[in-house]
Amino acid sequence: MENAVRRKLKQGETVMGMMHFTASPMLLEVMAAAGLDFAIIDMEHSPIDLGSAAHLVRAADAANLTPFLRVPDVDPGLIKKVLNLGVRGIVIPHATVDRCKAAVEACFYPPRGDRGSCPAVRSARYGQADWDRHMGEINNETVIVPLIEDKEALDRIEEIVKLDGVDIIFLGPFDLSVALGVPKATFDHPLMAAALERVVAIASRHDKYVMTSVGDLIDTGYARKILAKGVRMISYSADALVFLTACQRIAALKTAEPSAVAAE
């Protein structure tokens, strides 16, 4: 299965997506119809379980939306199951050097890792794939995405970036701002800006890519500033929060002054 996000990054494109919490195949189709490139199916914070994830991966593939998945922990059994579904990338929350090394072992077939083999899975077209070729293709297309949310990970970011299989570094601004002592700060804050600049510089030296989130506010001006700093991927906040923001704007019409409504 081709990883279209990986291909687009290598071609120099900017890639846009969203965290997916709602377990709605229709919303995945809407994201694809709007022109987004990927969705990160969340199994860390959302109620999505493995059965739901299977249907969401199918929906994403059918809509030509690249499916990534955030696991709650580096659980080799769970990682194997979701990769067997056809997920193209595994997002590792609260990444550390050791957790990323464990993820490499879990995600890749030998000799790169120790992922167990089974041909009767979706990613292998239920036994129809040439197995040796399949293992090579999956090893080439699967990406590990460490979510950098803690100061220790930031301090050891070069070790993480150097790991084989780690192609995309996801700088998580909400948790990272807390870890740096500036809760809720954006990348306009000097500490956050310095962290982003450092990660982008290190990633660029190793031909890796940086992703971050701009939250649920659809602030294209802010997003463009982040892209101008060398970020290649943006993941908007959870689809539920994007929808909430839209609903709040609609609900505000109930009490808005006529002049304010007209201005909208």
- What one-character-per-residue DSSP string does 111-123 give? TT------SSSGG
CATH for the stretch 4-238: 3.20.20.60
Mean pLDDT rounded to a whole number for the chain: 94
Residue 260 reports pLDDT greater than 70 = no
pLDDT of residue 215: 75
Residue 178 reports pLDDT greater than 90 = yes
Q: Where are the domains of the chain?
A: 4-238
Question: Radius of gyration of the chain from Cα atoms?
Answer: 19
Instruction: Report the C-alpha gap between 58 and 185 in whole angstroms.
Output: 36
Considering the candidates 20, 45, 134, 206, report the single residue annotated as catalytic: 45
Instruction: Report the C-alpha gap between 255 and 257 in whole angstroms.
Output: 7
Q: What does residue 179 show for φ and ψ, rounded to 5 degrees?
A: -60, -30
Mean local confidence (pLDDT), 77-105: 97
Distance of CA 84 to the CA centre of its chain: 18
How many helices (H) and strands (E) would you count in the chain? 13, 8
What is the share, in percent, of the chain residues with pLDDT greater than 70?
96
Q: How confident is the model at residue 1 (pLDDT cuts 50, 70, 90)?
A: confident
Instruction: Report the C-alpha gap between 143 and 161 in whole angstroms.
Output: 12
- DSSP class of residue 166? B
Q: How confident is the model at residue 153 (pLDDT cuts 50, 70, 90)?
A: very high
Residue 199 reports pLDDT greater than 60 = yes
Instruction: Report the C-alpha gap between 67 and 17 in whole angstroms.
Output: 10
- Residue 81 near residue 87, CB atoms below 8 Å: no
Q: What does the pLDDT look like over 97-148, one tens digit per residue?
A: 999 999 999 999 999 999 999 999 999 999 998 999 999 999 999 999 999 9
Instruction: Report the C-alpha gap between 252 and 160 in whole angstroms.
Output: 45
pLDDT of residue 258: 60
Residue 263 reports pLDDT greater than 60 = no
Q: Is 45 a catalytic residue?
A: yes
pTM metric for this prediction: 0.93
Residue 264 reports pLDDT greater than 60 = no
